Structure formats: structure tokens, C-alpha cells
Structure 1
Amino acid sequence: MSTRLACVVFDAIELRSVARFWAELLGWEVLMDRPGEVDVAASDPDGLDVALTFLPARRSKSAKNRIHLDLSSRSLDHQRVQVDRALSLGARRLDIGQGAVPWAVLADPEGNEFCVLEPREQYVDTGAVAAIVVDTENPQRLAEFWSTAAGWPVTHDSARYAGIRSATGQGPWLEFLRTPEALGECGRLHLDLIAFPTDDPVVEAARLRAAGALPMNPDTPPANTPALVLADPETNEFCLLREASG
């Protein structure tokens, strides 16, 4: 039994405009647009990119998000093109104290931080999103938890930085970066997991709790409840979704 990483969820005030920004920037498509939810994903049905979901924000953004996306580039010229494209779509440059670094730090139209990386060998085959990055006090602990949750092996870990990735070697990394300052509120991005069709989400929730997840709503929601809300060991909330019945 296991779960898989389904999507990165953005809480947004203007969810359609933010979804369009990310779709155009990544070269992805809006796959679903309905009241209260917009889904964006790569057009390749066989790709292993993690989708983006945009939901109505429960509160305004007031602090740096704990989760952000790193975008890949093929060359320094391509990096400059990516940055210029992001700015033309409504992004802005951001100073979060990064100093002189080879990557560009930007914010999307609602202030969500992201980076456009310089070319790096480890990201040559990831697709548009190189990594989903999580600020953490303990990279090793979170990497171990999310390895259990996503079913991805830990590929590298140190006191400062740890990462996991699909065993296929495709798609983005999920990385955990030690943050020197104290972690604040979780912010407006979170991760969603989904149980495989043959697995019971309640059983999977128990497995995740045994690995360190914290319950955030009743252990056994009604059958028609679409998601169970949990939190990882550092209180980052995530949802365990039910597989849609066919």
C-alpha cells in the first residue's frame, strides 16, 4: 500500500489569473476550470510532472511561503528568456536576502516566491519544474517522511539539504532546505497526496500517521468527503485525496 504525490496546491485570490500565469510560464495547459478550482498540468499524458491546482485563498499572504518552485533552464540564455517571460506575464523580482546568486528570485502575480535556476546537471531531465522546495528545520527528517508519503527514495541528505525523486529518474525533485530563520506560518502552497485506487485512504492515513503525520481532521471522514487533512512532522498541512471513482 502507498500514496503518490498528486499536485502542488496554491491558495489564490484570483485563481484563474494566477493559473493562467503558471500555465503560460511553464508551457502547460489548463486541464480543468470550474468554480473554486483550476488545474494546470503538462500536456504530455505520459509525463511525470506534478500538476498545479489553484483553490480560493482562505487568507491573504502575509509571510514568505514555506514551499516554492524552482524552474529549470537549459542554458544561461534560456534562463534569461525564462526570467523575461515571467516578468512580461506579471512576475516581479524579489529580494529575500539572497545576495549575489546565479539564480533569479521572483514572485508570481500574487506574491508567491519562485526561482529560475541557472543550468544545473541534476535538473536536465526534470521538465519545466526542476524542484519543489520545502523550507525546514530538519531536512533529513522531512525527507524521510515524504519519502514514505510519496513513495520516492531519498537520493541525498545532509544537515543542510536533502532530496527525494521518483525512482524512474523523471519529473521534479522534492527537496528540503534547512532554513536558518525560524519557520513562520505555512503560507499559501501545500502538497496533495492521493491513494492508489486499490488502497483504502483511511488505512493509508494510519500508515502516514505512523510515519509522523499529524491529524488535522477526524480520522475517518464520511465516505463522500474528498480529502483527509493531515500535517507533516513540521506542521506543513497536506491533503490525502480519494481516488475519483470511475
Structure 2
Amino acid sequence: MAVARFKDLCVDVNCPSAMTSFWGQVLGLTSPADNPAVLVGDRPEKTVWINQVPEPRTVKQRVHLDVLTSSIEELEKLGATVQSPITDEQHWAVLGDPEGGEFCGFERDNVPAYRLMELIVDSADPEAQARWWAGVVGGEVSHNPANPWYWLENVPGLPFPYWVFIPVPEPKTVKNRIHWDVTADELQPVLDAGATLLRPKDDEIGWWVCADPEGNEFCVFLPPVNEESDGQA
């Protein structure tokens, strides 16, 4: 039984104005006039927070987005750079956003208004990661024996079809520049599932920062009625 629900995504950036404009156009989201550092769609779960951080991107991102597009050239016009083009063997292009963060573009004849197709997470053990997150937020674990990755689908609240965990040899070394938030009725069931508490809610932040079994950061938002009791645990 799931103990949390997917809430939204967060992207760390150095220049919020440029990156909000870029990701808004790439994903098909808009930024409200009263809050230029957030992107919104027709569902709360499509929200993407654009968080300014002082540190630059230094290593390959362990979390990235796969997006749909009518053409890779369209993404280049928005400010993306091609790192690896589409080929007969690779049916997507690997691109960099204006700050160098990796994402992948998939060309389609018919592109929906909301263009986020899947969330990709580099993993030492993709099966274990997929099954752990299925236990936390629900959904079905899927796998094609011909490929080494695992994915979740039919996750309650997830505004894109697939949440994919792919194998990589390198370990996680720095804070992820893309992370996700969840909501939960209580914090303890998330910790009992195997999450690590990195930072409790305090006077500066109104949420609980946790990490999954491979160290990927995520934030837990609790109903106000349960925050005090969890803070005293």
C-alpha cells in the first residue's frame, strides 16, 4: 500500500528567469505573473518549481527529463544544444539545457500541449529502485527482459506516463539538480519504508527533505495537523 503521492518536480538552476522561460516552452507550461519562478499546467501535479542555487552543474545529472517535440531543431531554437543526435540505433537526441543539464528529446508527428513524457533516474540497482518507489507512491513495475531498465506506470497522480530507472556504473556524488516532491499523511511510514531523513522542517523550509535508498533527494509535504507530531518524533 502506497504511503505517499507524487506532488510535483523541482529543477535547480543558476538563472531562474532564463531557465523558467526555457523549460516553460519545452514542457508546454506557463509561469504565473505573481510567481515567475514556477511553471504550472492544468493539473497541480504538472507544477515545476525553478529553484535558484549558487552551485553550478558539475557532473552528469542522475535525474533528467525526456520530452516530446516536433523536431530537435525546435528545441535548439529555444536554447538547447545537441550532445548526441538521433541515429538509426538511438531514437532520441541527448541535449543540454542552457545551463548544461542533460535531457532527451523524442520526435513525434503529433505533440501534445504538455510535453513531458518520462522522468529518468540513474540507478545502481534499477529493479530495486523501481520496486521501492512503487511501494512508496504506488503504480506498477514493468520490465522488458531485452532491456536493462525498469519503469513505473499507472502511478497515482503522476502527470506523465513513465518513471524510468536505468542502470549506470558511476555512484551518486552530488545533490541532484532535479528532484520530486511527494505528499504524505505522516512522515514515519515513509521513513519506515527505507527513506533517510536529511533535514526536518524548520523555520526556513516548510517540508521534510529525505533521500531514497540510493541517495536521491525528495521532499515530503505533510498536512499541517501532522507536522508538529512528526517534528517531535
Whether these two folds match at TM > 0.5 is yes
Residue 165 of structure 2 is aligned to residue 166 of structure 1: no
Question: Which residue type is aligned with residue 177 of structure 1?
Answer: I
Residue matched to 1:148: 135
Shift of 1:7: 1.7
Shift of 1:167: 4.9
The root-mean-square deviation of aligned C-alpha atoms, in Å, is 3.3
Output one character per residue of 1:75-132: Cα deviation in whole Å (capped at 9) or x when no partner.
xxx2x2xx22211111111249x99522111111111111012459xxx989511100
Give the TM-score, by structure 1 length: 0.76
Structure 1 residue aligned with 2:92, among 97, 103, 118? 103
Structure 2: 5+ residue runs without aligned partners?
Answer: 226-233
Helix, strand or coil: the match of 1:72? Answer: strand
Structure 1 distance, partners of 2:9, 2:159, is: 17
Output one character per residue of 1:18-52: Cα deviation in whole Å (capped at 9) or x when no partner.
01111112221114754xx722132x34xx86321
Question: Which residue type is aligned with residue 18 of structure 2?
Answer: S
Change in Cα spacing, 1:206 to 1:216, as seen in structure 2 (3 Å) is: same
Change in Cα spacing, 1:64 to 1:2, as seen in structure 2 (3 Å) is: same
Residue 45 of structure 2 is aligned to residue 63 of structure 1: no
Give the TM-score, by structure 2 length: 0.80
Q: Identity, % of aligned pairs? A: 27
Residue 18 of structure 2 is aligned to residue 22 of structure 1: no
Helix, strand or coil: the match of 1:132? Answer: strand
Residue matched to 1:206: 188
Structure 1: 5+ residue runs without aligned partners?
Answer: none
Residue matched to 1:178: 167
Structure 1 residue aligned with 2:210, among 230, 236, 240? 230
Helix, strand or coil: the match of 2:21? Answer: helix
Change in Cα spacing, 1:100 to 1:29, as seen in structure 2 (3 Å) is: same
